[in-house]
Amino acid sequence: MRAERAEKSERAERGGGSGRPVFALFRDDWGIPHVRAGGARDLAYAQGYVTALDRAWQLHVERHRVLGTSAAFLGADSAGWDGLARRTRLADTARRCYERLDAGTAAWVAAYAAGVCDAFADGVHEAAPEFARTGSAPEGWEPWLPLGVWLSTHLLFAGFPAKLWRGELTRRLGADAVPLFATDGPGTAGSNGWLVTGDRTASGAALLAGDPHRFIEDPGVYQQIHLATTTAGEEGQGEAATDVVGLAVPGVPGLAHFGHTGQVAWAITNAMADYQDLYRERLRRTGDTVEAYGPGGWEEVQAHTETYQVAGGEPVTVEVVETARGTVVVGGPEAGPLPGEEEDAEAANALALRHHPRVSGRLGFETLPGLLTARTVAEVSAAVDHWVEPVNVLLAADTEGGLLHRAAGFVPRRPAANRLGPVPAWEPGNAWQDEPEPLPEAPAATWADPGLAVMANERGLAAPLGTEFAPPYRADRIRALLTARTGWRAGDMAAVHTDTYLASARPLLALLARVDTGPLGEPARRLRERLLAWDRHMAADSVDAARYAAFRAEVVRLLAAHPALAELTGPGGPAHADGYPPVFRPWLFATARIAYALESLLTGGPVAEPDRLTLVARALEAAAGEDTGQPWGALHRLAPWQAVASDEEWPAVAGDHDCVLSTSSLPGVTHLFARGPAARYVWDLARRDDSLWAVPFGASGVPGDPHARDQLPRWSEGGPVPVVTDFARLRHVPLPTPSDRSSAR
């Protein structure tokens, strides 16, 4: 009854000829928004409005990142991204993809954008202090912008800059060196996900759990939200009712990655697929036109200039060039040869990016409305058949016992060389074929462990689709934990989410065990004994975990300084090569690459085994001499990205890159971490309100709001908060008025 009275009250508030869709907003004890509206489009409008209410500053930043105008109020640190957004024609691609949506999906997306616009018109942004600090204000929200936010968020998700790294690696150390570094690198996003069937749970129904690993941003990249319609069919005959809880991407309608409708739940991880290509282009200017050398000879291409502003600096002008292959992201018609190219007429002087949304005008948003009303895994699978990018591995389960484990997205079919590095644009054999690669699926009867499926970016289901995958450590550890017992409940999954065992320490410790102790000083001997006896858990309160991390960092630094790797790490290394825009340097930073490939480099590669043993001994001495006795958490703290940096002190967190609790620092560079669980979820198919979730900060993106940081202690310690979907247990809040902007929070 409380929910019904609130809804009548809301209708009264929003009525009176305003012309706006009617909806009701509720919140739980954690400030998480629960939205109810009459039909699908009204619900999309409401989601947009509420997202602007809670995340106005975040939406403002995302809009300008799409347009390539963020440096105008954020300064020089954002200029590199703005240049890339313009050179890739990101906003134009979003418009193109929006125009190709079917009418129903386009109207649904436009309704979300209208909700954002109306919220800004109501002044919801006035509560966010960042606007005043940067002297900026929201300027609307175009209907195509949600597609732009998705493109902006995922443009670098597939890691096409890694092809620059592999090209440099081949040029400097030879093709044999490429497999040594064929692991997920410092710029990669990943995830854990697992599905436990009813045979292994206490309830007899499936549990689906996991955590997406992304760069931690404040406000968070995921938004907890509950979306429901009051009736089915208000906006058209046959419209299905919606009642779904999940993790939304602010700026994008629906729940693309993680959701639970009560009857079916789904979750994804990064498939680590390779679906973007770089083409080596020969460009020249002839009069007022730019030409590229393609398979049929010289051809005119699209070219124009754009200028963007930089706060505190000079305006920047970029030339936007698009060939038949794609948009130019490196070099140009007046640029010299690409790094490694000979100085002659045959040299390539540019690289063009080809990716499916730009080629086809398709992004896969047709998937999103279908997910919101899905009731079975078959309906989830049918919805994601439309998906384009990023390419994901998906798990789903329903209350009827249905199970799903498949890949989703578009992977072009082309030669294997395209996956490894830049290929010549003028060779016709490097073109994409008409049909994409087939997407693998694993029926439950084929699962290696009956009643259990795990996805952790390893070389598993999606192996035919990619080149670089995560080591198997996380996946193996999750399987070991889940197969050790039965009777799992939702609350038990925190022990899996927060597991800190670091199996990847084994190769380095095995080498340490072989070090001759005779020449070692006494502190180094003691440290060696402690590390060899260590339980290999990267617990926040573990002093030995900190000692291992310090020792590993010294090994990485000494490897980076070794003559065999000097071509990668010296002043002339890839990160310093002329011609590559600074925005790509994280993928070209050799020390970080060495850290992530440590196992391969300690068991093979260009550094001879005697040198490895000597190097490990030297690293041990150095680490012993700097031992402070601090625990791991004192060193390993969160360092989130903020568009406007604050001076907050961030918490100590357990884990490491290859732990299930994957909190990725850069060994040899810093112990701070910026990549980790961007959310956690446990979807319970027995009873949805027994599900659990958490995000790094809170539901609100407004500094000082009671729900801006209330989940941070739980998230940092691995504890979830409850999922509540019963509207009778929620607090109705009025929508904001010009006199009270905070009432809806």
Catalytic residues: 191
Torsion angles phi and psi, residue 324, rounded to 5: -65, -20
CB 208 within 8 A of CB 394: no
- What is the rounded distance in angstroms from the CA atom of residue 499 to the CA atom of residue 477? 9
Which distant-in-sequence residues (6+ apart) come within 8 Å of 82 by Cβ?
65, 68, 69, 70, 71, 308, 316
- What is the rounded distance in angstroms from the CA atom of residue 153 to the CA atom of residue 249? 9
CB 398 within 8 A of CB 375: yes
Per-residue tokens: 338: 């690409």
Is 274 part of any known ligand binding site?
yes
- What is the rounded distance in angstroms from the CA atom of residue 198 to the CA atom of residue 444? 13
- What is the rounded distance in angstroms from the CA atom of residue 121 to the CA atom of residue 460? 48
Is 740 part of any known ligand binding site?
no
Beta-strand ranges (E) seen in 551-663 are none
Q: What angle do CA 332, 335, 336 make, to 5 degrees?
A: 140
Nearest one of 678, 152, 107 to 389, comparing CA atoms: 152
Q: What angle do CA 703, 707, 713 make, to 5 degrees?
A: 100
CB 741 within 8 A of CB 127: yes
Per-residue tokens: 109: 């997306």
Cβ-count burial of 614 within 10 angstroms (0-12 exposed, 13-18 middle, 19+ buried)? middle
Nearest one of 176, 170, 169 to 604, comparing CA atoms: 176
- What is the rounded distance in angstroms from the CA atom of residue 724 to the CA atom of residue 226? 9
Q: Could you tell me the end-to-end alpha-carbon distance of the chain, in angstroms, rounded to an integer?
A: 22
3-class secondary structure, 361: coil
Helices (H) and strands (E) in the chain, counts: 25, 25
Nearest one of 104, 111, 106, 80 to 94, comparing CA atoms: 106
Task: Output Rg (C-alpha) for the chain, integer angstroms.
Answer: 26
How many C-beta atoms surround the C-beta of residue 485 within 10 A?
9
- Residues in a beta bridge with 406: 394, 441
- Residues in a beta bridge with 317: 307
Annotated binding site for Ca(2+): 274, 277
| Residues making up the binding site | 274, 277
